[in-house]
């Protein structure tokens, strides 16, 4: 990204000036690392992504200042005067543009919840980078430029320049000036056409969009394996089942390692869990299929084991949840909660297509034997109930009679007495006799041995009985669609009449919270930016015109998702939209600020001609700042990583899977909004003057009549 940015800047501005601009990158990175150290943060992949995201934006202010200084040098000013004037003249627009960009990230710093704790490093890092760039562009650039800038660099902007970059910009500026004449003479038609394009893209996305995901769809490198089965399996039986599953998994060549264990820790114990473990896939360079396809193979080869369910939950990275879909069922009466859970689970298994790994927290039925003593009859026979308890222990784990510590051990060993294995049966207790003062009495004469349901756990939440049902989807982008389908069925069943509440938690709950936060963060950012813009321009019309670029960038994001055929990520795409809100307004700020200045300096000049001159004059910095930001994220958006030292090219790594959605959204959103801004903003600036001219002309015609 640094190489791409510097190639563009050097080609456009010359070597000496581009070095002044390029020094902002190491300076801002150094200031960011120092600030993070003082804040007590460590450098992680979110910090690195923040640096990458800020890389293309941090040189925007430097480009604007140096470009203006070079223009003044070409007009005959000295280096000192040119950079002094540039720092003074560009102070307000650079401060406003950087301030609005930081304002977009401020709400993200206060991101609540699980996702906010995970993602908070990103907005903090970008905010520090931008604050450092503001100091560099307004303080250090004028100082360094007045000493190291060259007056000869002004020739790069002159008419006699033979530099390819300058020739391209001159031709482009001339062509854009001709287009601007058309836009400003027909502002109404231009604005309507622009709005029609935006409406068409939004409508197309509503019909052909790929749905919504919570975080990002990544190629998994490992998966959590859970083996379930109904029944009271012995340790040996569990081991044999685990070995059967392991043997099937080892037949998959794309798996690098397989680790399985029988049983489960006490904090994960469940009535149906036989074992668990994980599998890891080989590196992408050593396989021909994707990680998702390998996960499908894992599920396929482990099917067909009688009475056994093998669940493979791919590790997609990011915040982890038990399942993409988690349905929580609560109520006051346990039996009704259990019944509702069974009905919902059956519906999900049989009626909802595309669900996998369906499981329930409802315990599977198992049996325990209860020894009930008739205490009144036992008392009549003179039986001590404690003796009966000792006899029952001798039929099971044994009756403790003492302890001893062997010479070769530090721990004591219990001494237990129990019957021979042939007598340790359920019916064996009926054959026992207990000694009383009246002689031997059959135990069966005063006890009843009855089977009962064994309950390992009873789940309660907020004072109510609770059960959970989890499920995954074949296509993660279909989670929202499946949840909506299930919610419609839940509403139709009217469980609330029985006091049963069914709500979706986990990933779906977090997705809804993220969506709500992103909307509020966007509104907050727009409000802060509106205050800043009103302070600078003192005009509601111009401030709202500047903010119109935010909607254009949002439509550009939707266009990018359509072209790339990618789903909308609540987290990543949401961050990109809020980020774009602070970036895309900079182009309008530069245009409108220059328009106001030229209008003030040339009050007699036709306003439409002032608009055309403004667009031609600011085309170069607008293109440079936008393209440098795009170039900073272009390698990530393309899924391309180039190791210049190792001479290695990586395509489609796991990091790319994580961040490509965000990078693509910013690249398309910024590029699309920049293009429309150069069309829409001149027309919107010209609209009041054209309408006023037409109104005055009509009044004049009426007076003449």
Measured CA distances, 344 to 257, 338, 467, 469, 509 (Å): 36, 10, 11, 8, 19
pLDDT for 158: 44
Are 384 and 396 in the same domain?
Answer: yes
Give yes or no for a contact between 545 and 187, defined as CB atoms under 8 angstroms apart: no
Pairwise pLDDT comparison (280 vs 7), residue with the higher score: 280
pLDDT for 156: 46
pLDDT for 622: 86
In angstroms, the CA 613 to CA 176 distance is 10
Are 207 and 278 in the same domain?
Answer: no
In angstroms, the CA 211 to CA 480 distance is 8
Phi-psi region of 602 (alpha: psi -120 to 50; beta: other; left: phi over 0): beta
In angstroms, the CA 278 to CA 389 distance is 43
Mean pLDDT of 659-678: 90
- Using DSSP, state whether 265 is helix, strand or coil: coil
pLDDT for 579: 84
Work out the pLDDT band at 155, boundaries 50, 70, 90. very low
Number of structural domains in the chain: 4
pLDDT for 511: 80
In angstroms, the CA 169 to CA 678 distance is 15
Residues 6+ apart with CB under 8 A from 212: 477, 479, 480, 511, 567, 568, 569, 570
Domain membership of residue 10 (yes or no) is yes
- State whether the Cα torsion 642-648-649-655 is positive or negative: negative
Q: Strand pairing partners for 328?
A: 468, 503
pLDDT for 135: 92
Are 447 and 560 in the same domain?
Answer: no
pTM comes to 0.76
At residue 437, does pLDDT exceed 90?
no
- Using DSSP, state whether 21 is helix, strand or coil: helix
In angstroms, the CA 208 to CA 559 distance is 11
At residue 164, does pLDDT exceed 60?
no
In angstroms, the CA 123 to CA 102 distance is 9
Question: 223: domain range?
Answer: 219-315
pLDDT for 194: 92
CATH of the domain at 429: 3.30.2090.10
pLDDT for 216: 72
Are 55 and 134 in the same domain?
Answer: yes
Are 645 and 563 in the same domain?
Answer: yes
Give yes or no for a contact between 65 and 137, defined as CB atoms under 8 angstroms apart: yes
Work out the pLDDT band at 537, boundaries 50, 70, 90. confident
Pairwise pLDDT comparison (513 vs 676), residue with the higher score: 676
pLDDT for 35: 93
Pairwise pLDDT comparison (50 vs 694), residue with the higher score: 50
Measured CA distances, 33 to 110, 125, 134 (Å): 21, 9, 16
Pairwise pLDDT comparison (428 vs 202), residue with the higher score: 202
Domain membership of residue 463 (yes or no) is no
CATH of the domain at 622: 1.20.1640.10
Are 537 and 422 in the same domain?
Answer: no
Are 339 and 297 in the same domain?
Answer: no
Work out the pLDDT band at 568, boundaries 50, 70, 90. confident
Mean pLDDT of 70-77: 81
Are 474 and 552 in the same domain?
Answer: no
Percent of the chain at pLDDT > 90 equals: 17
Closest CA to 587 of 548, 636, 635: 548
Are 569 and 664 in the same domain?
Answer: yes
Q: Strand pairing partners for 414?
A: 403
The continuous run of DSSP H or E covering 355 comes out as strand 355-360
Are 562 and 682 in the same domain?
Answer: yes
Mean pLDDT of 589-599: 87
Q: ∠ CA(499), CA(500), CA(503), 5° rounding?
A: 135
DSSP for 421-468, written as a single string: GGG-SSGGGGG-EEEETTEEEEGGGTEEEEEEE--S---EETTEEEEE
Domain membership of residue 158 (yes or no) is yes
In angstroms, the CA 333 to CA 377 distance is 36
pLDDT for 401: 86
Domain membership of residue 311 (yes or no) is yes
Are 568 and 483 in the same domain?
Answer: no
Domain membership of residue 427 (yes or no) is yes
In angstroms, the CA 145 to CA 17 distance is 8
Range in 22-31, 80-89, 152-161, 470-479 the model is least confident about? 152-161
Domain membership of residue 662 (yes or no) is yes
pLDDT for 551: 92
Residues 6+ apart with CB under 8 A from 701: none
pLDDT for 157: 42
Percent of the chain at pLDDT > 70 equals: 91
Work out the pLDDT band at 160, boundaries 50, 70, 90. very low
pLDDT for 132: 94
Work out the pLDDT band at 232, boundaries 50, 70, 90. low
pLDDT for 154: 45
CATH of the domain at 247: 3.30.70.1430
**Rounded mean pLDDT of the chain?**
83
**Strand ranges (DSSP E) for 454-583?**
460-461, 464-473, 501-505, 568-569
Q: Which one-letter DSSP state was computed for residue 215?
A: S
> What tens digit of pLDDT does each residue of 181-229 get?
888 888 889 999 999 999 999 999 998 888 788 777 777 788 888 888 8
pLDDT for 162: 41
At residue 317, does pLDDT exceed 90?
no
Residues 6+ apart with CB under 8 A from 183: 190, 679, 682, 683, 686
At residue 166, does pLDDT exceed 50?
yes
Domain membership of residue 85 (yes or no) is yes
Mean pLDDT of 313-323: 70
Work out the pLDDT band at 667, boundaries 50, 70, 90. very high
Work out the pLDDT band at 561, boundaries 50, 70, 90. very high
Domain membership of residue 355 (yes or no) is yes
> What tens digit of pLDDT does each residue of 487-510 get?
999 988 888 888 899 988 877 777
In angstroms, the CA 232 to CA 223 distance is 27
**Phi and psi at residue 158, in whole multiples of 5°?**
-80, 170
Q: ∠ CA(616), CA(613), CA(694), 5° rounding?
A: 125
Measured CA distances, 316 to 68, 322, 334, 640, 656 (Å): 48, 12, 35, 20, 13
> What tens digit of pLDDT does each residue of 250-303 get?
989 889 999 999 876 655 555 577 888 999 988 877 888 877 788 888 888 888
pLDDT for 628: 83
Are 546 and 627 in the same domain?
Answer: yes
pLDDT for 489: 92
């Amino acid at each position: 990204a640094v190489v791409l940015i510097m190639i563009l800047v050097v080609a456009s501005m010359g070597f000496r000036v581009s070095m002044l601009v390029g020094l902002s990158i190491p300076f801002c990175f150094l200031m960011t690392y120092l600030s993070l150290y003082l804040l007590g943060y460590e450098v992680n992949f979110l910090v690195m992504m923040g640096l990458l995201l800020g890389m293309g934006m941090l040189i925007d202010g430097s480009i604007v200042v140096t470009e203006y200084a070079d223009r003044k040098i070409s007009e005959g000013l000295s280096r000192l005067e040119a950079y002094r004037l540039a720092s003074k003249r560009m102070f307000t627009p650079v401060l406003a543009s950087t301030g609005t960009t930081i304002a977009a990230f401020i709400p993200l710093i206060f991101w609540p919840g699980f996702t906010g704790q995970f993602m908070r490093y990103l907005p903090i890092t970008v905010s520090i980078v931008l604050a450092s760039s503001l100091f560099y562009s307004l303080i250090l650039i004028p100082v360094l430029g007045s000493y190291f800038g060259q007056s000869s660099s002004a020739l790069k902007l002159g008419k006699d320049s033979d530099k390819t970059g300058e020739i391209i910009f001159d031709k482009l500026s001339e062509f854009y000036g001709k287009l601007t004449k058309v836009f400003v003479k027909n502002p109404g038609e231009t604005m309507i056409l622009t709005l029609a394009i935006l409406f068409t893209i939004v409508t197309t996305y509503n019909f052909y969009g790929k749905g919504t995901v919570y975080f990002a769809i990544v190629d998994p490198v490992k998966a959590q394996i859970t083996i379930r089965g109904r029944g009271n399996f012995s340790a040996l039986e569990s081991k044999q089942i685990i070995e059967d599953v392991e043997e099937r998994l080892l037949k998959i060549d794309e798996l690098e390692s397989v680790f399985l264990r029988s049983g489960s820790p006490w904090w994960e114990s469940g009535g149906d869990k036989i074992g668990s473990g994980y599998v890891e896939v080989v590196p992408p360079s050593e396989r021909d299929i994707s990680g998702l396809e390998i996960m499908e193979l894992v599920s396929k080869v482990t099917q067909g084991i009688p009475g056994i369910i093998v669940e493979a939950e791919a590790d997609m990275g990011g915040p982890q949840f038990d399942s993409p879909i988690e349905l929580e069922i609560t109520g006051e009466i346990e039996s009704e909660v259990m019944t509702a859970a069974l009905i919902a689970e059956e519906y999900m298994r049989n009626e909802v297509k595309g669900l996998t790994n369906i499981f329930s927290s409802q315990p599977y039925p198992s049996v325990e034997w209860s020894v009930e003593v008739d205490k009144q009859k036992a008392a009549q026979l003179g039986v001590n109930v404690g003796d009966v308890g000792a006899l029952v222990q001798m039929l099971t784990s044994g009756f403790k009679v003492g302890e001893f510590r062997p010479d070769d051990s530090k721990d004591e060993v219990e001494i237990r007495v129990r019957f021979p294995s042939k007598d340790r049966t359920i019916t064996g207790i009926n054959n026992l006799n207990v000694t009383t003062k009246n002689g031997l009495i059959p135990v069966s004469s005063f006890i009843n041995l009855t089977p009962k349901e064994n309950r390992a756990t009873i789940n309660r939440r907020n004072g109510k009985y609770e059960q959970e049902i989890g499920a995954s989807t074949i296509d993660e982008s279909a989670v929202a669609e499946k949840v909506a389908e299930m919610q419609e069925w839940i509403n139709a069943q009217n469980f609330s009449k029985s006091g049963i509440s069914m709500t979706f938690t986990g990933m779906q709950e977090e997705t809804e919270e993220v969506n709500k936060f992103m909307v509020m963060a966007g509104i907050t950012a727009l409000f802060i930016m509106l205050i800043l813009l009103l302070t600078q321009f003192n005009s509601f019309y111009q401030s709202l015109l500047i903010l119109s670029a935010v909607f254009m960038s949002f439509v550009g994001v939707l266009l990018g998702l359509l072209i790339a055929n990618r789903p909308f990520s609540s987290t990543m795409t949401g961050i990109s939209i809020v980020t774009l809100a602070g970036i895309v307004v900079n182009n309008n700020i530069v245009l409108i600020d220059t328009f106001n200045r030229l209008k003030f300096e040339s009050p007699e000049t036709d306003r439409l001609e002032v608009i055309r001159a403004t667009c031609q004059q600011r085309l170069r910095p607008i293109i440079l700042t936008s393209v440098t930001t795009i170039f900073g994220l272009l390698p990530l958006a393309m899924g391309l990583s180039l190791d210049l030292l190792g001479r290695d090219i990586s395509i489609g790594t796991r990091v790319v899977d994580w961040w490509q959605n965000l990078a693509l959204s910013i690249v398309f959103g910024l590029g699309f909004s920049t293009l429309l801004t150069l069309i829409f903003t001149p027309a919107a600036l010209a609209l009041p003057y054209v309408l006023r001219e037409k109104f005055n002309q009509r009044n004049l015609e009426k007076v003449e009549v």
